[in-house]
Amino acid sequence: MTIKIRPHHSPIRGFIFHLHPRKVVAETIRFTLSFGLGGMAATLFLVLVLTGVLQLLSYSSDSTEAYQSIIDMYAAPSLAGFIRNVHHWAGNLLVLVSVLHLLRVYLTGAADRTRRLNWLIGCTLLVLVLGANFTGYLLPWDQLAFWAVTIFTNMVGYVPLAGVQISELLRGSAEVGPATLENFFAIHVGLIPPFIVVLLVYHFWLIRKSGGLVRSRDSGQRPVMVAAVPTLVAREAAVGFGLCALLLLFSALVDAPLTDIANPGASPNPAKAAWYFMGLQELLLHLHPTFAIFIVPLLMFLLLASLPFIRQAGLEPGLWCGGGRGRWTAAISFLTGMGGAAILVVVDELAFKNSGAPPVLTPWLSRGMVPLLILVIALGLVYRLLRSKNFPPSQSLMAVVLLCAGMVCGLTVIGIWFRGPGMMLGFSF
């Protein structure tokens, strides 16, 4: 009787094979298909978990000690300050990488009908990443963090029906104070990370179940297969270690920002939200609060989440933007959105807000419903124009999505770099 002995696999090798099949299609692991954005996001999350745990050894969430505990992190010869730098910059970079990864998935045709659930999980993960950054923003308890959180919680109060209650729940009181710091610390450390871990594992499992990254349609030829180990794993390791090296170098050269200790009686001028919410703050300067904080962001998020469910909305899989003409359309649409946002902001500042003429309509109409209807009609006309030029429905919808993305990016850039004292237009570099 012959006894077959199974080859022994190390725990690391076994874990790798839980994440990846033994062989993958060679086409799906080319760097220009994904630019490693998904792996970068996972790497940054691991870095954040590690540095976050290490920071717990030095940080105090008591409002009377929080700021001083941050100061003490930078006292020589401690490495706590360097760890805080890494944590801060990794968190900010994770927001940017997550947004780019979500756009990459859509633009390479991976947000198709067979991956609907994973797309929704990805959208949820983006919301959790924003929540993690927002709750962590307050923990240094300095002026920058205090007033950024004050602005955002005030903006949340404009959400219809439950906005005031949600805002007070986050703050733990009527105003931002010690209870807010305790709430944010608990949410940042104990609530959001477990949700991210569960969804991230499920996200990876669904990718493997779907056969890995998206690839182009079958051409009748048998796809070329390569071993996941070492081909795929080596590329993932190169991207992950390369990203960590750059992050560590940047963190060694540039400290995370820290201003004076939080002072509720002295508001900075201008008082700005965190950079990833500056688009909302800028929008609040031009639209009715209910539309700026709730209706417009909700409609854009619903458009993003519904992309795999819209008939004929899926782009050609494995190709950026559906092909050559689609790439030009995508670039032009995004840049037009950015430029359009800048033009509309300037026109609103000069022709409407500073005109001195009495309003004809109520603010809910003139600053809410009317601009929203104009925007929806304009986007609809763009879609119809492209369809009349024989663009496929998928690329026409892509143009609409990237116009919206460009407008959000434009508003964010204006809010960060072109709003000075009193939130007046100007340079604030």
What percent of the chain is predicted at pLDDT more than 90? 63
Residue 95 Cα distances to 76, 100, 133, 246, angstroms: 31, 9, 8, 17
Q: For the whole model, what pTM was predicted?
A: 0.91
Per-residue pLDDT tens for 327-351? 999 999 999 999 999 999 999 888 7
- For residue 4, pLDDT over 60 is answered with no
Q: What is the pLDDT of residue 5?
A: 44
Q: Are 42 and 19 in contact (CB under 8 A)?
A: no
The position carrying tokens 């700026």 is: 292
- For residue 10, pLDDT over 70 is answered with no
How many C-alpha atoms does 63 have within 13 Å on its Cβ side? 16
Per-residue pLDDT tens for 32-62? 888 889 999 999 999 999 999 999 999 999 9
Residue 237 Cα distances to 13, 218, 229, 309, angstroms: 14, 29, 11, 34
Domain limits, the chain: 12-268, 273-429
What percent of the chain is predicted at pLDDT more than 70? 90
Q: Please compute Rg for the chain using Cα positions.
A: 24
Mean per-residue pLDDT of the chain:
88
Residues in CB range of 150: below 8 A, 6 or more apart: 175, 176, 271
Tell me which of 1.20.810.10, 3.30.930.10, 1.10.1660.10, 3.40.47.10 is the CATH number of domain 12-268.
1.20.810.10
